[in-house]
């Protein structure tokens, strides 16, 4: 028997270790789906509360997948209620040395990119952002979504193809 088999999620140090190891990744996963930092924080917090409430029923080895499932289900419930779309924080007005033409082109590109990302199906958008922004490997994304690595490869291929078609120069 492994020493870990005796560990229990109800033990504070085990719970803390799970939190420290997974909370940031789960937050990012949900944030990319929600596009809303506050709602992602709420979902992650709620998932960890549910883990604590059910700590005697969840073995440490299954805690990560339990948390992803709970957070994802919370996300799906909010989506049903609100039909939330991914949005990016509005860029604040700032003083710059860039020419007005450069800034206009930059804003047009950002808008094109945002529109192109928003037009992707949610699973392709999430896969793309987790891979390109968070640097997650396909196997990690597959584990988060509970699908095969081949499915993630296909999503990424379709996302890149769609983005290339919509944005010149990518």
114-153 per-position pLDDT tens digit: 888 888 888 888 898 888 888 889 998 998 888 999 999 9
pLDDT value at residue 158: 93
| 49/45 Cα distance (integer angstroms) | 6
Alpha helices in 35-148 (DSSP H): 37-53, 60-82, 100-119, 122-132, 138-145
| 35/169 Cα distance (integer angstroms) | 25
pLDDT value at residue 75: 78
pLDDT value at residue 6: 57
Residue 85: which of 110, 119, 109 has the closest Cα?
Answer: 119
pLDDT value at residue 80: 63
Which of helix, strand or coil describes residue 12? helix
pLDDT value at residue 118: 81
How do residues 69-119 score in pLDDT, each as one tens digit?
Answer: 898 888 777 766 554 333 333 343 444 566 777 777 777 777 787 888 888
Percent of the chain exceeding pLDDT 90 equals 25
Give residue for tokens 């917090």: 45
- Which segment, 2-6, 24-28, 75-79, 166-170, is predicted with the most confidence on average? 24-28
Q: How confident is the model at residue 23 (pLDDT cuts 50, 70, 90)?
A: very high
């Amino acid at each position: 028997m492994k020493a870990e088999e005796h560990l229990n999620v109800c033990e504070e140090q085990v719970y803390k270790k799970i939190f420290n190891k997974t909370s940031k990744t789960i937050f990012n996963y949900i944030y990319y789906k929600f596009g809303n930092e506050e709602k992602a924080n709420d979902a992650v917090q709620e998932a960890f509360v549910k883990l604590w409430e059910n700590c005697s029923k969840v073995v440490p080895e299954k805690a990560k997948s339990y948390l992803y499932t709970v957070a994802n289900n919370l996300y799906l419930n909010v989506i049903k209620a609100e039909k939330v779309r991914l949005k990016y924080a509005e860029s604040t007005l700032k003083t710059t040395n860039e020419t007005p033409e450069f800034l206009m082109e930059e804003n047009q590109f950002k808008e094109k990119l945002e529109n192109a990302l928003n037009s992707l199906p949610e699973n392709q958008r999430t896969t793309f952002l987790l891979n390109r922004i968070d640097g997650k490997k396909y196997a990690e994304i597959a584990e988060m979504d509970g699908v095969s690595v081949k499915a993630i490869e296909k999503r990424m291929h379709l996302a890149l193809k769609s983005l290339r078609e919509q944005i010149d120069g990518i």
